[in-house]
Amino acid sequence: MSFYEPDKIVCNGSLFRLFITKEQIDKRVAALAEQVNSDYKDKKPIFIGVLNGAFIFLADLMRHVSIPCEVDFIKLSSYGDDKVSTGHVTELKELDADVEGRHVILIEDIIDTGLSMKYMVDRIQEKNPASVSVLTLLHKPDATKHFVNIDYVGFQIPTHFVLGYGMDYAQEGRNLAQIYVIDDVT
Ligand code: IMP
Ligand code: MG
């Protein structure tokens, strides 16, 4: 199988360079799934992925999950087509699953200001789940504006714009197999 994994990439006029390799991602994703396997044994968790960004990460994560589980998606938008958050969340697709009494694991590609995840946690809590935890591949701790408790983190990264492995710049670049960082940082 071949993946799309160049060292540098121009996306919508901005240059990005390789930041987290496919091997590093695969290893971390498998380790996160192992933690879920042991923490949620006998709990049949439901993963709720935040579209669009989390679709590739969640698909890979689930293939390492060996306990009974379910999946559903919600679609939010906070970025528009820019590199900075618009500061408000729009719900573009609501949740279909009934999560009352369920153990919910919210899945994000990246937590930046925390706005989207705070919105998610608040929305899910209203539905009386048995528990809610947060699992994100990437976290930019220095960008936090809205605090949320994060239970599982793949990688903590500096506050720079990243691309690939599901994450986009103006909707492009999601198909990159590795994670890239904008190249205006030294
Ligand atoms: P937050 O609401 O500010 O935490 O932003 C979360 C959402 O913004 C994520 O789910 C991503 O979709 C998007 N996002 C945040 N940072 C980046 C980035 O560096 N690259 C691509 N998308 C990002
Ligand atoms: Mg997202």
User: Exposed, middle or buried, 177 (CB in 10 Å: 0-12/13-18/19+)?
Assistant: middle
Does a structural domain hold residue 3? Answer: no
Does a structural domain hold residue 100? Answer: yes
With contact defined as beta carbons under 8 Å apart, do 75 and 89 qualify? Answer: no
**Ligand 1 pocket, mutate which of 77, 112, 181 (most atoms under 8 A from CB):** 112
Per the model's pLDDT, the better-predicted residue between 5 and 100 turns out to be 100
pTM of the complete model: 0.94
Does a structural domain hold residue 50? Answer: yes
Q: Is the peptide bond before 128 cis (omega within 30 degrees of 0)?
A: no
Does a structural domain hold residue 88? Answer: yes
Ligand 1, residue 146: give the atom nearest the CA. 4
Does a structural domain hold residue 1? Answer: no
> Domains in the chain: how many in total?
1
Does a structural domain hold residue 131? Answer: yes
Which CATH number fits the domain that encloses residue 89? 3.40.50.2020
pLDDT at 86 over 70: no
- The parent domain of residue 80 ranges over 8-182
Does a structural domain hold residue 151? Answer: yes
Q: Which residues line ligand 1 (CB under 6 A)?
A: 50, 53, 78-79, 85, 108-117, 161-162, 167
Does a structural domain hold residue 23? Answer: yes
pLDDT at 129: 98
pLDDT at 94: 87
Ligand 1, residue 108: give the atom nearest the CA. 10
pLDDT at 34 over 60: yes
CA–centroid distance, residue 62 to ligand 1 (Å): 21
With contact defined as beta carbons under 8 Å apart, do 16 and 163 qualify? Answer: yes
